[in-house]
Amino acid sequence: MEKKNVFAQIHEMETQVESFKDELGTMKQAVKELMEDNQRLLTENERLRKILKREAQGEAASSARPEPYNVLSEPKKKDEEAGDMVGEGYDNLARLYHEGFHICNVYYGHLRTEGDCLFCLSFLNK
């Protein structure tokens, strides 16, 4: 009778260990999501602080001396604007990659935890 009792206890312990493993996996996923959200919020906070600082400096400069309107100045051409936007987009993606996020279509927006991603690097090199 004692042997059956030992086997029953071992079986019960195995089910508890499996349950703990499942809980640990769930908690690990939750921690990963929290870390990604934290990194995203830190990046967004930094970006918003820069924008706020830039606007505050712009308001101080504009209130000190207004700039005259130049009638002879030409507006930007569409080609120049498109070139600026392409460069700016590439710079933003490169910045995101260097901040630790994926920019490839496979894992876009996820936090890079295991070093460089070949998909992201090939995308940057295009």
The whole-angstrom separation of Cα 105 and Cα 92 is: 16
- Whether the per-residue pLDDT at 119 is higher than 70: the answer is yes
Kindly compute the dihedral angle of the four CA atoms of residues 18, 19, 21, 24, in this order, to the nearest 10 degrees. 180
What is the pLDDT confidence band of residue 101, given thresholds at 50, 70 and 90? confident
Cβ neighbours of residue 99 closer than 8 Å, sequence gap 6 or more: 39, 43
Residues 33-85 have pLDDT tens digits of: 999 989 989 988 988 898 888 888 877 776 665 554 444 444 444 444 444 44
Residues 71-99 have pLDDT tens digits of: 444 444 444 444 444 578 888 888 888 88
The whole-angstrom separation of Cα 117 and Cα 112 is: 8
